[in-house]
Structure 1
Amino acid sequence: MSAAPVGPPAPSPYAAPDVKGLRLRAPTGLAVALTVLFTLVIGFGVYAVYADWNLRALMERLLADPAAVSDDELYRSERLTGLVGTIQGNALIVTGIVFVVWFHRVRTNAEVFAPGAEKLGRGWAIGAWFVPLANLWLPYRIAVTTWGSSTPFAAGGGYRRFPLTLVNLWWGAFVLARLLGWYGGMSYGRAESAGAVRDAATTMLVGDGLELVAAVLAVFFVRKLTAMQHARAGQGPAVAAV
């Protein structure tokens, strides 16, 4: 029995026509890498929460009875806090670099899907993260526009609705975690008493807890937007400018 002829491979959904010199590029590989990196960030975040809690508890004991805390305990706690901060910081830097690359790619894809929807140039998908104060708002604006432009068509021809709840929760947790982390780290560096160290540890504890929440939400955000773009790419090129 002869084998059935094999037809040509199905075209990639990302082999879309150029739109103003742009071409769709799959964000799937970057999304997988980010899932792994954010998982590591979450693991280090749990360790950071433990270090903050340990430092706070130690300061509480020191305030209640200075003789009950040895110098070795203070040294170990300080070393643990510094080590966790270094590891967590390095993990966030690597994850942040990959995230910005992914963010720029999905922003570029969104311009293919809906030319003119975003008034800011594609370069802002990178630059917005490095502008003081503006980085508390501009990346969110770009994320919202990209989310809307990447919405797949429904079966009836209209757009499917994907609420911005996930985007809002992720960005809110991210900004609060950044602000509390900055303030807690600054307070810890300036602390000159056990009470001040305890207060700084409390702030860092809340900030690192929110960092965990933001990392979990970031995974869902990355995977959801990537899936939306994959579905939208399979439906063909943009049909109209916005």
Structure 2
Amino acid sequence: MSLQGEGWYADPQDGRRLRWWDGERWTEHTHAREAAGSGRSHPRLGTGWRALAVVVQLALLGCVATSAFVLYTDLAILDFVEELALRPDGVDVEDGVRIDRLMALSLVDVGATLLTGVLFISWHYQLHNSSRMDRSAMRHGTGWTIGGWLVPVLSLWRPFQMVTDVRRGLTGDGAARPWRLQGWWWGCFATSLAIGQVASYFYNRTNAIPEDDFPGYVDLIGTAAAWERWSAGLSMVAAMLAIVLVRRMTRQAVAEPAAA
């Protein structure tokens, strides 16, 4: 068998599969070969998918706004804690009520994040499952666009891999590497989640503080806000990068013909 450079070729061990040849040797990457006339087909990307791409970008803009509000709330909490430490007499009950109100309102960020996640996964699933993809260049099944977010530990990298899989499918290049933009997006997003978990730990610890230990409560709230401000800032950056990423993938899917 003569191999013309790197690419997907019939697996010498199993003709029902394709295996990636890197130009020098067979790699471990394989892909099921779709039999001709099997009747298996993938839907085309229509105007509904393009409209969904716009909705996803608007939802991401909403996440930028809600994360900015969380950041504003954290800074207000830190100012309150500092004022209470330096000038206890300069803080009254209304200041505490204002902080409580801001903290309650900032919970809208959780809903915005969940809604945006559902929209993004739906958009990503439709793209990965579409006829626009060159399946011989892809390494993962479409189900991972959903399952990759839900499986513990694997969720730390599989969603990132699935975006790379779409790039391979769009270009027909099975060896295509992730966009640099994609790396910054995932790095900011994952770091934001990790820091957010630390902030949640300190917020949850306030539930164990006795009612008469107000200084202890304020100290924990301040510590949580100090961590959460960084999480909120990174979340804003990740959402803005995600908008650019969605626009790039959508433009490429619409403008370029599917690989033969």
TM tier, smaller: 0.7 to 0.9
Tell me the equivalent position of 1:72: 94
Q: Distance in 2 between matches of 1:117 and 1:187?
A: 45
Tell me the equivalent position of 2:72: 50
Q: Deviations over 1:138-195 (max 9, x none)?
A: 000111121232138xxxxx99x99611111111111111111222122122134222
Matches within 5 A, 1:152-191: 164-191=179-206
* Kept in 2: contact 1:19–1:112 (CA 8 A): no
DSSP 3-state at the match of 2:106: helix
* Kept in 2: contact 1:118–1:142 (CA 8 A): no
- Does residue 1:92 correspond to 2:113, yes or no? yes
Q: Deviations over 1:57-109 (max 9, x none)?
A: 11111222333222221122022112212x11111121111111011112223
By percentage of residues, which structure has more strand? 2
- Name the aligned partner's letter for residue 142 of structure 1: M
| Structure 1 range deviating more: 60-69 or 41-50 | 60-69
Two-structure CA RMSD over aligned residues (Å): 2.5
* Kept in 2: contact 1:113–1:149 (CA 8 A): yes
DSSP 3-state at the match of 1:113: coil
Q: TM-score, normalising length from structure 1?
A: 0.79
The runs of 4+ residues in structure 1 deviating greater than 6 Å are: none
Structure 1 residue 227, shift from structure 2 partner: 0.6
Q: TM-score, normalising length from structure 2?
A: 0.74
Q: Distance in 2 between matches of 1:112 and 1:121?
A: 15
- Does residue 1:200 correspond to 2:224, yes or no? yes
Matches within 5 A, 1:102-117: 102-109=123-130, 112-117=132-137
- Does residue 1:123 correspond to 2:137, yes or no? no
Q: Distance in 2 between matches of 1:19 and 1:60?
A: 68
* Kept in 2: contact 1:118–1:145 (CA 8 A): yes
Structure 1 residue 112, shift from structure 2 partner: 4.7
Structure 1 residue 39, shift from structure 2 partner: 1.6
| Structure 1 range deviating more: 94-103 or 188-197 | 188-197
* Kept in 2: contact 1:63–1:195 (CA 8 A): no
Tell me the equivalent position of 2:13: none
- Name the aligned partner's letter for residue 234 of structure 2: L
Tell me the equivalent position of 2:237: 213
Tell me the equivalent position of 1:21: 41
Structure 2: where are the runs of 5+ without partners? 1-37, 210-215
Q: How many residues are treated as equivalent by the alignment?
A: 212
- Name the aligned partner's letter for residue 82 of structure 1: A
Structure 1: where are the runs of 5+ without partners? 1-17, 153-157
Higher relative contact order (CA 8 A, sep 6+): 1
Change (3 A) 1:19 1:162: farther
Matches within 5 A, 1:119-158: 119-151=139-171
